[in-house]
Amino acid sequence: MAKIGFIKLGNLGMSQVIDLVQDEIAAREGISVRVFGTGPKMGKDEAAATAELKAWGADFYVMISPNASAPGPTAAREIYKDVPCIVISDGPTKKEDRAALEEAGFGYIIMTVDPLIGAKTEFLDPVEMASFNSDAMKVLSTCGVVRLIQEELDKVAAMADEGKELELPHIVAKPEKCIERAGFSNPYAKAKGLAALHMADMVAKINFPACFMMKEIEQVTLTAAAGHEMMRAAAQLAIEAREIEKANDSVFRQPHSKKGYLMTKTSLYEKPKQ
């Protein structure tokens, strides 16, 4: 049995499904999941509130938030520093900051490919926000990021289940690393997926000035819109990549058995095998 606690501060693309990826049909035995989230905000108050889930006594925690170096996530880590906890975020991107995380005992998966949204009142409303998250999830799911997260969390859960000491992951999930997990069999599908990841990665470089530096309405909205168009184009490439695999009946699938081990299958009509 593994008890896994998810703490969600603010929102990343991956936040949408991270608590679901280990039990996609809700039939897996030997795993128990609890989620505590603070909605869109990730300030100090929210950080303090996360203490609540600690009482549950999970085997390990997964703390997901944008920018793990921000004050809120930093404060939240203070609370969880004495229990096994994996930080999942789009930063810190600096090596030394990640080393500090590791020294403090945290595992981490830093996904530079989880794209920064164009978070300006002049552009973003709830519909645009949700629509952007849909595009982000299309890339994250089909280009290897979801599988990377799932495999790494499964590894730790297996250790917990077996009563072993937990070895937490320390991974920088750059495009080149993610794409290897995607399981593409056609090399051009893989190349499209890799390009999509690079584009998701690059969205932050466009949206960052829109979010934090620009003031003038035309510049802000044009730039954020360009960021979202790039994300849309990335999603489209990811779709194309998967369509190629479908056309070859070579979609790699890795469902969980009821007992929790991973099975694999490739041809659609094939039974999953351990």
Tell me: does residue 159 bind a second copy (CB under 8 A): no
Tell me how far the alpha carbon of residue 171 is from its chain's centroid.
12
Size of the chain in residues: 274
Residues 142, 168, 178, 260: which binds a second copy (CB under 8 A)? 142
Q: Which of residues 62-101 bind a second copy (CB under 8 A)?
A: none
Q: Which is nearer to a second copy, 93 or 131 (CB)?
A: 131
Residues 2, 12, 36, 116: which binds a second copy (CB under 8 A)? 36
Tell me: does residue 172 bind a second copy (CB under 8 A): no
CA distance 256 to 29: 10
CA distance 53 to 33: 11
Residue 215: CB atoms within 10 Å: 6
Tell me: does residue 167 bind a second copy (CB under 8 A): no
Residues 12, 22, 58, 68: which binds a second copy (CB under 8 A)? 22
Tell me: does residue 134 bind a second copy (CB under 8 A): yes
Instruction: Select from 202, 141, 133, 210 the least CA-distant residue to 174.
Output: 202
Residues 39, 71, 99, 213: which binds a second copy (CB under 8 A)? 39
126: CB partners within 8 A, 6+ apart: none
Q: Which of residues 218-257 bind a second copy (CB under 8 A)?
A: 218, 221-223, 225-230, 232-237, 239, 242, 244, 246-249, 251, 253-257
| Cα-Cα end-to-end distance for the chain | 20
